[in-house]
Structure 1
């Protein structure tokens, strides 16, 4: 969980912020589609049978990480590229995606059982100190804490810039 949270919320955001106009054309367009694809991929990969298979297969695990990273890169770049006149859309998409990511995290935290049945020792590393349920709850907690930080921080940044643009455009009188 920590890997794709880091890839989606730190690496992809930093890459999208730094690439600016050098981002390939498709990744700068269609922000609503980018948000929907990102949410669908995240929820699909976290379906219990799918995630259990992905964790058991290095190939599927790499496909999961790569698809989540590319979708996050597309999302962040598209949201950041929205014109100044439509920054409300950026903020709306950040709210939409962050709420659905938090909902998934909350489901992982409060599920009454281990949804993924990965076996003892998977989450606890070499010592096997954590049960599958505890690992799942920790993963959900990471999602609920880490994901909103990047979305909230980006939303505040976008809103501040948008307010500055609106103030500059306002008639002085």
Structure 2
């Protein structure tokens, strides 16, 4: 969990910021933002389904694919978010909040599940002499707590920053023009 939280919420936005810094990339259409949003959410939920998760635990190649696709989807999301055109910039806020909310929902399922949702193949709980099923459930709850803390926080912080930028921009453009007139209808 730590690896994909770091890759999706620290590495991906950082790499996206580095890619667009110093370049005049902008004006991305909102369709790319919404495509990236739904792709990221779909991959996150699909990879966390019990059947797929069991496959991940059995195959190192599948595990690598899991982390790579989530990182690429997150990078696509953050690049789309950071380059959305100024006229459509407001759409980044619902995209961030939707992603954060659905991540919280997945994390809540992990936290409040009364039983383990995933098989134990490859889990330390497979070694009955050292661990019990209870440890696997505690591990699942801890993973959910990590996810519910770290993931939505990055989306919420980005939404707050963008909202402040939009409010500031709107206040600036709504101020009186040099001749004292208000820019109504602009």
**1:81 aligned residue:** 83
Match among 149, 153, 158 for residue 153 of structure 2: 149
Match among 98, 105, 114 for residue 103 of structure 1: 105
Q: Does 1:18 align with 2:18?
A: yes
- What does 1:12-91 correspond to in 2, within 5 Å? 12-20=12-20, 21=23, 30-91=32-93
The alpha carbon displacement at 1:55 in A equals 2.1
The question of whether the paired residues in 2 share the 8 Å contact of 1:98 and 1:148 is answered with: yes
The alpha carbon displacement at 1:87 in A equals 2.0
Distance 1:12 1:29 in 2: 20
RMSD (CA atoms): 2.5
Match among 94, 97, 105 for residue 92 of structure 1: 94
The alpha carbon displacement at 1:162 in A equals 1.3
**1:3 aligned residue:** 3
TM-aligned CA distance change 1:16 to 1:87, over 3 Å: same
The alpha carbon displacement at 1:138 in A equals 0.6
What stretches of structure 2 of length at least 5 have no aligned partner?
A: 181-186
Distance 2:12 2:171 in 1: 31
- Number of residues paired by the alignment? 169
Moved over 3 A (4+): 127-130
Structure holding more helix per residue: 1
The alpha carbon displacement at 1:79 in A equals 1.0
Distance 1:86 1:31 in 2: 10
Match among 133, 139, 142 for residue 143 of structure 2: 139
Q: Secondary structure at the match of 1:30?
A: helix
TM-aligned CA distance change 1:3 to 1:22, over 3 Å: farther
What stretches of structure 1 of length at least 5 have no aligned partner?
A: none
The alpha carbon displacement at 1:153 in A equals 1.1
